[in-house]
Amino acid sequence: MSTKDNKGTAVITGASSGIGAVYADRLAGQGYDLVLVARRADRLQEVADRLSYAYGRKVDTIVADLSVDADLRRVEQAVATDDSVTLLINNAGVAGLETVADADADTAERMIKVNVIALTRLTHAVLPGLLARNRGGIINLAAVVAYGLA
Please calculate the CA angle 5-44-19 and round it to the nearest 5 degrees.
70
Could you tell me if residue 125 is inside a domain?
yes
Owning domain of residue 82? 9-109+117-144
Q: What is the pLDDT along the chain (150 residues), one digit of tens a residue?
A: 444 567 999 999 999 999 999 999 999 999 999 999 999 999 999 999 999 999 999 999 999 999 999 999 999 999 999 999 999 999 999 877 777 678 788 888 898 999 999 999 999 999 999 999 999 999 999 865 555 544
We report the CATH number of the domain holding residue 96 as: 3.40.50.720
Structural domain count of the chain? 1
Could you tell me if residue 121 is inside a domain?
yes
137 three-class SS: strand
Could you tell me if residue 3 is inside a domain?
no
Could you tell me if residue 85 is inside a domain?
yes
